[in-house]
Amino acid sequence: MKILSINTGSSSLKFSLFNMDTDEVLVSGLFERIGIDGSCYTIKNSEFKIKEDAELKDHADAIKILLDKLIELKIISSYDEIDGVGHRIVQGADHYDKSVIITDEVLEDIIKLSDLAPLHNPAHAIGIKAFKSILPNTPMVAVFDTAFHQTMSKDKFLYAVPYEWYEKHGVRRYGAHGTSHNYISQTISKELGRDDLKVISCHLGQGASVTAIDSGKCVNTSMGFTPLAGLVMGTRSGDIDVSLVPYVMEKEGLSAGEVVTALNKKSGFLGISGVSSDSRDIEAGIKEGNERCKIAEEMFVNSVVKYIAEYYVELGGCDVIVFTAGIGENSAATREAIAEKLAVLGVKIDKKANDVRGELKCISAKDSKIKLYLVPTNEELMIAKDTLALIK
């Protein structure tokens, strides 16, 4: 069976087509600048890579080109070979604790929840509608980033604010990256042959979050009402004192929205270093003696360590700490810095084993009290697997 995994952005569409008999990626790619001048797309697999300019007025244009290219490239012989389409949905709130077949009601809910993810849910809805117009008889599945975190208890997901804010407006911790953390949980359980593991999953990339997992279920997670909370990130501030917002509004003559935009898009690595939001540029700056890059990296490491330590206590111990996503999979220096600060917990990294990028591997020393693993995440495969399970 062939399943398409789709991640629709406001001006982009990322996809992977899987052969679910083998979990093989048949082809993947990205459509960029949809509805904007200079639109283009990339389609690739192990045998070829195509990058072309194309007029993409809307997402329907992108999807039509995608499907026609799959036929032209002989990946499929007709649209009928696509057995299902799985859509990544950022925000499902507490309406959805698992993936679901997309009905008109589900689509309406995704649109209603746009207030909680204004940059994401409206784009997801556009992608769903566009696919439905071209593949009206193909089953489609919504895979929610927030679903995995719905096992958190109230004392973990509530904020200490007036309770009616939660009852009336849904003010609570929702988390994000749930599809990735779920994949990590399942993969490390399979790798170690146990389903009762206490896992601290560190999804470290431009967006970053740490999740405490006990026996496959989320206990707590660092992101909050929105993805702004938690760790220092590429352009996000992470946790701050909210009184900072009116203070900066007054001092800088900004609106609340402008301050929140700065906290989301001009902070984190970028805000502290003044150089870049990319951790690779931060590491290069450190080598060149840039003090602000050094501070940015230290702040990021400190924020990760803080949450790992908190979740170690909440879980009552920990069997394995997993690093994943762009920084987690590729930055040996960051993994080592985090491990060194966790030495008080008996954590020891094997520097030779840690000299690795993007492959599943144990990177802890033999006498480490907590195992350290690098596990490449695969959210697209997780989406495809959920889609296959539901359409079957």
- Domain regions of the chain by residue span: 2-144, 193-379
Distance between CA atoms of residues 128 and 123, nearest Å: 9
- Assign 239 a pLDDT band (cuts: 50, 70, 90): very high
Selection from 33-47, 82-96, 307-321 with the highest mean pLDDT: 307-321
Asked if residue 102 has pLDDT above 80, the reply is yes
Ramachandran sector of residue 31 (left: φ over 0; alpha: ψ -120 to 50; beta: rest): beta
Mean model confidence pLDDT for the chain: 93
Ramachandran sector of residue 299 (left: φ over 0; alpha: ψ -120 to 50; beta: rest): alpha
Asked if residue 79 has pLDDT above 80, the reply is yes
pLDDT of residue 314: 97
Asked if residue 159 has pLDDT above 80, the reply is yes
- Assign 214 a pLDDT band (cuts: 50, 70, 90): very high
Q: Kindly state the average pLDDT of the residues 230-248.
A: 95
Q: Does domain 193-379 have CATH number 3.40.50.720?
A: no
Distance between CA atoms of residues 278 and 292, nearest Å: 14
Q: Which CATH number does 2-144 carry?
A: 3.30.420.40
pLDDT of residue 115: 83
Catalytic positions: 145
Q: Kindly state the average pLDDT of the residues 250-275.
A: 94
First to last CA, the chain: 10
Give the pairing type, strands 361-362 and 371-374.
antiparallel
Mark 299-309 as b/e (b = at least 16 C-beta within 10 Å).
bbbebbbbbbe
| Residue 223 contacts residue 157 (beta carbons within 8 Å) | no
C-alpha closest to that of 241 among 258, 256, 255, 229: 229
| Residue 380 contacts residue 356 (beta carbons within 8 Å) | no
Asked if residue 162 has pLDDT above 80, the reply is yes
Asked if residue 88 has pLDDT above 80, the reply is yes
pLDDT by residue (tens digit) across 346-366?
999 999 999 999 899 999 999
Q: Kindly state the average pLDDT of the residues 214-225.
A: 96
- Assign 32 a pLDDT band (cuts: 50, 70, 90): confident
pLDDT of residue 34: 86
Q: Kindly state the average pLDDT of the residues 301-328.
A: 97
pLDDT of residue 37: 85
Asked if residue 130 has pLDDT above 90, the reply is no
Give the pairing type, strands 2-8 and 82-89.
parallel
